[in-house]
C-alpha cells in the first residue's frame, strides 16, 4: 500500500522536477538552486529524484549526491511540514540555546537521534546563527523568527503551529 502511494507521489513529482529543471535550462551550474527548489516542493530530496536529476543534467549520480550531502540545507530524509531551526550562534549559546532546544524536543516528544516527529509535522534542527543575536536565544519556525525564548514561549509558539495558526507575528 505504502509502495503504491509512493510511486504515485513520485510519478507526480517527476513532472514538477521537469518543470524545475527546465526553468534552470538543464544547466549543471544551477544544481544547488535546482535542489533547493526540489526540496521546497517535497521537503526532502528523494534518492530517485537525485538520480533523475543527474541523468537530466548529464552528470554522474555521485556528483549530485555529493552536492546534496555537502550542504546543511539539504536532507535526504523526509522533513516535517514545519521546520524549527533553533539558533545555536554564539550569542544564543551564551544565553541558553541548549535549554531552548531541550524544551522544543521535549515538547515534541522526540527521542535521541530523532529530528522529525512521526506525524511529519515538525522537524527540529540547529543552525549556527540566524542573525537575530539581539533576541537571543532565538529560533526560526519556517521563515518566522521568534526571540527571547523561554520554556513558556516555546510551548506557546509550537501550540500555535500545531493548530495550524502559522505566520504568527513574533513575540
Check the CA dihedral 41-142-35-46 and report its sign: negative
Q: How far is the CB of 75 from another protein (least distance, A)?
A: 11
3-state secondary structure of 30: helix
Q: How far is the CB of 85 from another protein (least distance, A)?
A: 8
Distance CA 144, CA 167 (A): 7
Q: How far is the CB of 164 from another protein (least distance, A)?
A: 20
Binding positions for another protein, rule: CB under 8 A: 27-33, 35-36, 66-67, 70-74, 85, 88-91, 93-95, 127-136, 138, 140, 143, 145-147, 169-171
Q: How far is the CB of 161 from another protein (least distance, A)?
A: 16
Give whichever of 43 and 85 is closer to another protein, judged by the CB atom: 85
Give whichever of 10 and 95 is closer to another protein, judged by the CB atom: 95
Distance CA 139, CA 104 (A): 10
CA atoms within 13 A on the CB side of 32: 5
Distance CA 156, CA 149 (A): 10
Amino acid at each position: 500500500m505504502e509502495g503504491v502511494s509512493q510511486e504515485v507521489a513520485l510519478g507526480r513529482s517527476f513532472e514538477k522536477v521537469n518543470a524545475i529543471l527546465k526553468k534552470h535550462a538543464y544547466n549543471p551550474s544551477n544544481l544547488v538552486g535546482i535542489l533547493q527548489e526540489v526540496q521546497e516542493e517535497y521537503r526532502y530530496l528523494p534518492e530517485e529524484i537525485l538520480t533523475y536529476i543527474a541523468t537530466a543534467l548529464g552528470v554522474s549520480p555521485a556528483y549530485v549526491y555529493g552536492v546534496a550531502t555537502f550542504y546543511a540545507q539539504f536532507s535526504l530524509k523526509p522533513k516535517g511540514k514545519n521546520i524549527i531551526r533553533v539558533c545555536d550562534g554564539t550569542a544564543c549559546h551564551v544565553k541558553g540555546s541548549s535549554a531552548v532546544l531541550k524544551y522544543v524536543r521535549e515538547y515534541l516528544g522526540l527521542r535521541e537521534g530523532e529530528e522529525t516527529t512521526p506525524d511529519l509535522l515538525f522537524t527540529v534542527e540547529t543552525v549556527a546563527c540566524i542573525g537575530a543575536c539581539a533576541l537571543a536565544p532565538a529560533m526560526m519556525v519556517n521563515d518566522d523568527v521568534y526571540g527571547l525564548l523561554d520554556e513558556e514561549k516555546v510551548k506557546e509558539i509550537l501550540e500555535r503551529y500545531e493548530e495550524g495558526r502559522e505566520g504568527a507575528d513574533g513575540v
